[in-house]
Amino acid sequence: MNRLTGKVCVVTGGASGIGRETALAYLREGATVHVLDRDGQGLALLARQYRELHVVEIDITDNEAVSRFHSGLERLDVQFNCAGMVAVGDLNACTPDDWQRSLDLNVTSVYLMMRAAVELMLRQRSGSIINVASVISSIGAAPDRFAYGATKAAVIGMTKSVALDYASANIRCNAICPSAVETPSMTARIEAMPDSAAARQSFDARQPLGRMGTPAEIAELAVYLASDLSGFMTGSELVIDGGAKL
């Protein structure tokens, strides 16, 4: 416990799922935590339950909004970029709108957030940026995930570039690459399918361990990457997938 005492952390996509669990894990570890999301209702519920959190309703694909938020921070030790979307479909099924929305949220928002973070971190000559990518990326493929796989591969590429360019300033950048995780959005997708029981079984079976991951398991890895214990790790793509891509 207290692995993040004194650190200022920013979490995107923090109103639910992996982002929410990570924000709470950072809070438990002693950090000051800013939770960013465009889901105002989810943020309001989170703020009522955990008054210590600083919640901000924001569109992180908006450069001005991202810059304005970061200008209000005196320092930034950890940035956890979790917000994202899953567009379902192969190349032919991927519409221009699917493609653009995927790029905006999965890639452009990460670029904008990292650029703003690095400006702050360079002043203090330290910081840890953690991006949520996926095993569906440059690591491997999955059916009907054309836009998603392309954008998550881009996240890995950006992560490595930032890690190399800013290592001399003691700014680290790593990517977490999960397989299927039992988030509220995943549960909603499964329950909306014609045969939800069969769909759940299929998602579980993708992992040799026989189940999906949990947000808490991803959050624990995010705590490690945020803490000084991972101080010699940068540019890594950490696979946490229950053996899915073995």
Domain ranges of the chain: 8-178+214-239, 180-212
Phi, psi torsion values for 212, nearest 5 degrees: -80, 160
Task: List the catalytic residues.
Answer: 148
Q: What local confidence, expressed as pLDDT, does residue 95 receive? A: 98
Q: Which of 137, 179, 162, 178 is nearest to 234 (CA)?
A: 162
For residue 35, what is the enclosing H or E element?
strand 32-37
Q: What local confidence, expressed as pLDDT, does residue 167 receive? A: 98
Phi, psi torsion values for 197, nearest 5 degrees: -65, -45
* Inter-CA distances, 210 with 176, 201, 202, 213, 218, Å: 20, 9, 10, 10, 17
Q: How far apart are CA 136 and CA 180, in angstroms?
A: 10
Q: What local confidence, expressed as pLDDT, does residue 204 receive? A: 96
Q: CATH number of the domain at 8-178+214-239, please?
A: 3.40.50.720
Contact in structure between 18 and 218 (CB atoms under 8 Å):
yes
* Inter-CA distances, 166 with 74, 162, 172, 201, 244, Å: 20, 6, 7, 43, 32
Q: What is the pTM of this model?
A: 0.96
Q: How far apart are CA 244 and CA 208, in angstroms?
A: 6
pLDDT along the chain (246 residues), means of 10: 96 98 98 98 97 98 98 98 97 98 98 98 98 98 97 98 98 98 91 92 95 98 98 98 96
Query: 238: which strand partners?
Result: 176
Q: What local confidence, expressed as pLDDT, does residue 189 receive? A: 86
The DSSP secondary-structure symbol of 106 reads I
Here the tokens at position 242 are 């229950």
